[in-house]
């Protein structure tokens, strides 16, 4: 697991790497950041997360 997979990104921050991100609340709400440079969305309704963690990098082979 890379350092970027451990990093928690807050809603509104710019997505640093394209890939699949998951909220860190443990409920497995996922968000696909298709393009680096987009902003992370607010959490899903009812989600208690404070941020997003990279699960699958678009650059993994």
- How far is residue 5 from each of residues 15, 18, 46, 53, measured CA to CA in Å? 13, 12, 24, 6
Model confidence, pTM: 0.77
Q: How many CB atoms lie within 10 A of CB 42?
A: 10
Separation of alpha carbons 41 and 61, rounded Å: 26
10's tokens? 């807050």
Domain residue spans of the chain: 3-57
Q: What is the mean pLDDT of the chain?
A: 84
- What mean pLDDT comes out for the span 28-48? 84
Contact 33, 40 (CB under 8 A): yes
Q: Give me the pLDDT at residue 2, please.
A: 54
pLDDT confidence of 16, banded at 50, 70, 90? very high
Q: With cut-offs at 50, 70 and 90, classify the pLDDT of residue 5.
A: low
Residues 6+ apart with CB under 8 A from 1: none
For residue 38, the model assigns a pLDDT of 92
């Amino acid at each position: 697991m890379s350092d970027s997979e451990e990093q928690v990104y807050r809603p509104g921050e710019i997505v640093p790497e394209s890939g699949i991100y998951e909220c860190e609340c443990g409920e497995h709400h996922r968000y696909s950041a298709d393009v680096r440079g987009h902003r992370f969305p607010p959490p899903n309704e009812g989600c208690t997360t404070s941020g997003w963690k990279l699960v699958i990098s678009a650059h993994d082979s």
